């Protein structure tokens, strides 16, 4: 397939999903003369001949990026540019309006591109993101519990809530589910706003240019809940950080809730002022890591339930066993298989799956070893391998030893006796005690949580 044909195919899916998202009037106004024109690495270049339309697209960036992330997770950004009508004409498409039919939609009639993307115009939240369809597992249970606590104790517990983890692991889903739960619980009486950090930066830059910074701050301070996605993108943007600092203080001092997401914990975000980092670290920091096989399988089952489709078990097992990186790629793999079935009316064999899903299959270079975890713990606390395996009862060394025991048990298949051998212990009950102690500690000790999540992020970056 040529690059041009590939662009047209991708745009057709995005175009169809947007058509299902927006009202007919809005869609016809803003998208009938818009098209995907180019692809540069992981960036989709969407073109229009109108500056006015370009401005609207930039303002409503989240509508488009949500669709792109769901359908094509390999593309992480969307940019808008002005093109001539002649250039656009080659890429514009028209989808005929289907006549109404009394025929009920069957499972086999599912079209992957027509997903439900319903945005609330007041909150900017996607109503499809709920706690009910968020699959909870060992990799995200703490983040889920913290989010539920925020709904119950708005502004008074875990404020701010800072959720971090890799791309496509469900941070945005959990953040928006929190917003939807609060908005629905209070029957719309609480002012809730979800803002991608790119939009926040854009708003602040425009306010500085227009001399309306004070008005912008006041608008944000009227909120009961502010949700800022991908906060790491404010790195090295000093003016944005200064405005955000004042917005944060205004909300926090009024017991208004703030929730952030990021691809890394606060202490690892470079180019952010220390005073702002300290605000991020002042509440609850939780991470979402890569899901295990059981959770990956459950996620696929939940996706099937939502789409009202049936896929053979061997396909679900294959995807759960081979697509390891994140939830978005799991769902993208399932969408791709369904698309193949929709075209061929046959499900691919396991051999064919390897070819069809080759872009999603990324196995870890090797299994996690105890030595990986020990090195990361030792590096983090500045102690030696001899210290952590020794008998010292100094508080800092004992703590790091228990954390290492906990992480080895959590992220390897080793038994308690085998872990005891790593630490030169004859009695494995020491390991059991450490695991239980740290398991309890991470439910209430913010400092301990921060330490563990930073260490975890470090060794996963080296292994995956």
Give the total number of structural domains in the chain: 4
pLDDT band at 94 (very low <50, low <70, confident <90, very high): low
In a domain, 309, yes or no: yes
Do 273 and 150 belong to one domain?
Answer: yes
Do 283 and 297 belong to one domain?
Answer: no
In a domain, 308, yes or no: yes
Q: 191 and 291 in contact (C-beta within 8 Å)? A: no
In a domain, 130, yes or no: no
Do 379 and 438 belong to one domain?
Answer: yes
Do 39 and 157 belong to one domain?
Answer: no
pLDDT band at 365 (very low <50, low <70, confident <90, very high): low
Do 447 and 386 belong to one domain?
Answer: yes
Do 13 and 57 belong to one domain?
Answer: yes
Phi, psi (rounded to 5 degrees) for 208: -65, -45
Can you give the pLDDT at residue 102? Answer: 37
Do 270 and 148 belong to one domain?
Answer: yes
Can you give the pLDDT at residue 103? Answer: 37
Do 227 and 344 belong to one domain?
Answer: no
Do 417 and 331 belong to one domain?
Answer: no
Domain extent at residue 168: 141-288
pLDDT band at 398 (very low <50, low <70, confident <90, very high): very high
Q: What is the CATH number of the domain that holds 77?
A: 3.30.300.180
Do 83 and 45 belong to one domain?
Answer: yes
Q: What is the CATH number of the domain that holds 383?
A: 1.10.1750.10
Residue 98 in this model has a pLDDT that exceeds 50: no
Do 446 and 322 belong to one domain?
Answer: no
Q: 463, exposed or middle or buried, with CB in 10 Å at 0-12, 13-18, 19+?
A: middle
In a domain, 114, yes or no: no
Tens-place pLDDT, residues 320-352: 888 877 788 888 899 889 888 888 888 888 888
Name the domain boundary from 24, 57, 89: 89
In a domain, 197, yes or no: yes
In a domain, 386, yes or no: yes
The 8-class DSSP code of residue 91 comes to T
* CA atoms 69, 71, 77, 80: torsion sign: negative
Do 445 and 331 belong to one domain?
Answer: no
How big is the CA angle at 252 (ends 248 and 256), to the nearest 5 degrees? 110
Tens-place pLDDT, residues 152-166: 999 998 999 999 988
């Amino acid at each position: 397939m040529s690059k041009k044909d590939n662009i047209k195919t991708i745009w057709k899916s995005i175009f169809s999903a947007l058509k299902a998202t927006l009202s007919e009037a809005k869609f016809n106004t803003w998208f009938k003369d818009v098209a995907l024109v180019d692809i540069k690495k992981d960036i989709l270049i969407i073109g229009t001949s109108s500056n006015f339309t370009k401005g609207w697209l930039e303002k409503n960036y989240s509508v488009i990026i949500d669709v792109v992330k769901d359908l094509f997770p390999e593309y992480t950004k969307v940019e808008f540019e002005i093109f001539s009508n002649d250039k656009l004409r080659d890429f514009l498409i028209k989808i005929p309006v289907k006549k109404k039919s009394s025929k009920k939609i069957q499972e086999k009639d599912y079209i992957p591109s027509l997903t439900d993307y319903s945005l609330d115009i007041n909150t900017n939240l996607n109503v499809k993101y709920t706690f009910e369809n968020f699959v909870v597992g060992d990799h995200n249970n703490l983040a889920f519990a913290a989010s539920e606590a925020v709904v119950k104790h708005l502004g008074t517990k875990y404020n701010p809530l800072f959720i971090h983890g890799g791309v496509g692991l469900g941070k945005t889903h959990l953040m928006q589910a929190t917003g939807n739960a609060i908005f629905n619980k209070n029957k719309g009486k609480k002012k809730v706003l979800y803002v991608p950090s790119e939009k926040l930066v854009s708003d602040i830059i425009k306010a500085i240019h227009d001399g309306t910074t004070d008005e912008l701050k006041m608008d944000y301070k009227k909120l009961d809940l502010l949700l800022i996605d991908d906060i790491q993108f404010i790195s090295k943007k000093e003016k944005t950080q200064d405005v955000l600092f004042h917005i944060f203080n205004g909300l926090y001092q009024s017991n208004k809730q703030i929730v952030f997401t990021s691809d890394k914990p606060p202490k690892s975000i470079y180019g952010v002022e220390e005073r702002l980092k300290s605000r991020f670290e002042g509440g609850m920091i939780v991470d979402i890591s890569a899901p295990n096989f059981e959770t990956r399988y459950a996620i696929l089952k939940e996706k099937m339930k939502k789409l009202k489709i049936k896929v053979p078990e061997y396909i679900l097992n294959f995807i759960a066993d081979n697509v390891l990186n994140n939830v978005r790629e799991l769902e993208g793999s399932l969408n791709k298989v369904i698309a193949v079935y929709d075209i061929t009316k046959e499900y691919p064999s396991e051999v064919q799956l390897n070819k069809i899903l080759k872009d999603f299959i990324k196995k870890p270079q090797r299994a996690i070893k105890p030595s990986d975890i020990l090195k990361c713990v030792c590096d983090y606390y500045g102690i030696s391998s001899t210290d952590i395996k020794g008998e010292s009862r100094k508080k800092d060394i004992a703590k790091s030893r228990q954390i290492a025991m906990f992480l080895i048990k959590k992220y390897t298949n080793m038994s308690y006796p085998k872990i005891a051998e790593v630490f030169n212990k004859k009695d494995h009950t020491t390991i059991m005690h450490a695991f239980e102690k740290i398991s309890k500690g991470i439910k209430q000790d913010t400092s301990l949580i921060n330490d563990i999540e930073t260490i975890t992020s470090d060794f996963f970056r080296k292994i995956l």
